[in-house]
């Protein structure tokens, strides 16, 4: 495991060192840096103007803390990238632990080995984006949930930690705030004593709400409205379903929408999108299918990453997993802990089919895709070896 940790760290470090120390490559990176600057200037955790709760708070707080509450290129970018190298490396360890607990030590180990050099995990360590931190907190939440489902001792402590990890993941991306009730429901339908299940869920919910409350209270003070996540949801729904959308990012917006006050803009986006869907439900159904394809595409959707190199790397890393992943799911339908991972994967798929689909939004569930693929691969390998032994034995007995 020490060797695996070192290899994961070095693979990510080498990639990060190839990037320009002053390079900021994505619009989201600029926005997170702006939120950090506004926070340090005493202007709150917003983008400024009419975008006060547009993005969740955890990632800008993370880069503020990790850079020692200082600003300045290129040092702050390098520090954040190095921190993300370490976080992504710890995520590989979590993949091993989850795989060992859900499937077997062999599957956990080989999934971790694959994750060590998995291009998508390495790629996102180099950019000031939520992916690396979000994947880590999702993995922590999954790890605690799996231990609860395994009926281990000290369940109240695990319930408290699970509630915290789900909240932190939700403060990184609100998607996990929406998944949390499904996780609680999954626990409630377990075989444990009813009183135990209720205690676990109540403790998790209490910690979850407590951890979210500073952001919720802050949003109510600023916007005079209950906003548990962000005010971006309606815009994302519109981008994925407007008349000109193909299911990915689409920068066409209804005239005058940005003049609507922020606290009302989210609802206005949802209302306008609902009107578009009612007007042409057939196109909405087509978009659902197209977003499914975009979400599970084995090659990048974005034109900026459509070169042969990106396509080959994507096919040889993610693409080769798909058949083994599907097989792994069918092999583990009676495994309750594996079924929880299926629920997580299905939730992310359906959520992004409804809203906005991109390979980037699939990356947080790819640790579990890799685990199922490892399960499917070793089932084939073990059966081939068994068939070979039986064939040799039959020939020997002739």
Same structural domain for residues 393 and 268?
Answer: yes
pLDDT in tens, 241-253: 999 999 999 989 9
More confident position, 398 or 139: 139
More confident position, 3 or 339: 339
Same structural domain for residues 140 and 160?
Answer: yes
- Report percent pLDDT > 90 for the chain: 83
Final residue before a domain boundary, out of 129, 147, 169: 129
Choice among 181-195, 327-341, 365-379 with the minimum mean pLDDT: 181-195
Same structural domain for residues 253 and 397?
Answer: yes
pLDDT in tens, 94-142: 999 999 999 999 999 999 999 999 999 999 999 999 999 999 999 999 9
- pTM (predicted TM-score): 0.95
Distance CA 211, CA 165 (A): 9
Mean pLDDT of 375-385: 95
Same structural domain for residues 45 and 106?
Answer: yes
Same structural domain for residues 279 and 182?
Answer: no
Q: Which pLDDT score, from 0 to 100, does residue 2 have?
A: 86
**Cβ-Cβ contacts under 8 Å for 139 (sequence gap 6 or more):** 91, 94, 95, 98, 367
Same structural domain for residues 17 and 125?
Answer: yes
Give the structural domain span for 361. Answer: 232-398
Average pLDDT, the chain: 94
Chain Cα centroid distance, residue 244: 27
Distance CA 219, CA 363 (A): 29
- Cβ count within 10 A of residue 8: 27
pLDDT in tens, 44-95: 899 988 899 999 999 999 999 998 877 666 688 999 999 999 999 999 999 9
Mean pLDDT of 138-154: 90
Same structural domain for residues 81 and 156?
Answer: no
- Report percent pLDDT > 70 for the chain: 97
């Amino acid at each position: 495991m020490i060797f695996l940790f070192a290899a994961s760290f070095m693979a990510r470090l080498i990639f990060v060192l190839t990037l320009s120390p002053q390079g900021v490559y994505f619009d989201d990176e600029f926005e997170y840096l702006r939120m950090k600057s506004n926070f340090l200037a005493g202007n709150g955790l917003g983008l400024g103007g009419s975008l006060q709760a547009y993005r969740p708070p955890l990632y800008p707080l993370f880069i503020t803390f990790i850079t020692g509450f200082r600003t300045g290129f290129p040092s702050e970018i390098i520090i954040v990238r190095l921190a993300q190298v370490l976080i992504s490396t710890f995520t590989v360890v979590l993949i091993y632990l989850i795989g060992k607990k859900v499937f077997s030590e062999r599957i956990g180990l080989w999934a971790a080995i694959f994750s060590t050099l998995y291009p998508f995990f390495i790629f996102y360590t180099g950019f000031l984006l939520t992916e690396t931190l979000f994947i880590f907190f999702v993995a922590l939440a999954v790890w605690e949930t799996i231990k609860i489902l395994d009926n281990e001792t000290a369940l109240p402590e695990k319930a408290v930690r699970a509630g915290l990890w789900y909240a932190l993941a939700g403060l990184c991306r609100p998607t996990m705030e929406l998944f949390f009730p499904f996780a609680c429901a999954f626990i409630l339908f377990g075989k444990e004593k009813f009183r135990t299940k209720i205690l676990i869920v109540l403790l998790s919910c209490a910690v979850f709400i407590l951890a979210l409350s500073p952001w919720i209270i802050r949003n109510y003070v600023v916007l005079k409205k209950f906003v548990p996540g962000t005010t971006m949801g309606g815009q994302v729904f519109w981008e994925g379903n407007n008349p000109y959308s193909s299911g990915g990012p689409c920068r066409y917006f209804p005239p005058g929408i940005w003049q609507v006050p922020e606290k009302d803009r989210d609802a206005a986006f949802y209302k306008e999108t609902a009107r578009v869907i009612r007007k042409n439900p057939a196109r909405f159904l087509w978009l659902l299918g197209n977003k499914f394809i975009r979400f599970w595409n084995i090659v990048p959707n974005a034109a900026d990453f459509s070169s042969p190199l990106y396509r080959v790397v994507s096919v040889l890393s993610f693409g080769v997993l798909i058949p083994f992943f599907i097989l792994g799911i069918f092999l583990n339908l009676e495994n309750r802990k594996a079924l929880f991972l299926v629920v997580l994967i299905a939730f992310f798929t359906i959520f992004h089919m409804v809203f906005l689909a991109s390979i980037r939004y699939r990356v947080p569930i790819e640790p579990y895709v890799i685990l199922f693929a490892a399960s499917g691969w070793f089932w084939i390998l073990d059966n081939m070896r068994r068939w070979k032994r039986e064939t040799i034995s039959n020939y020997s007995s002739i």
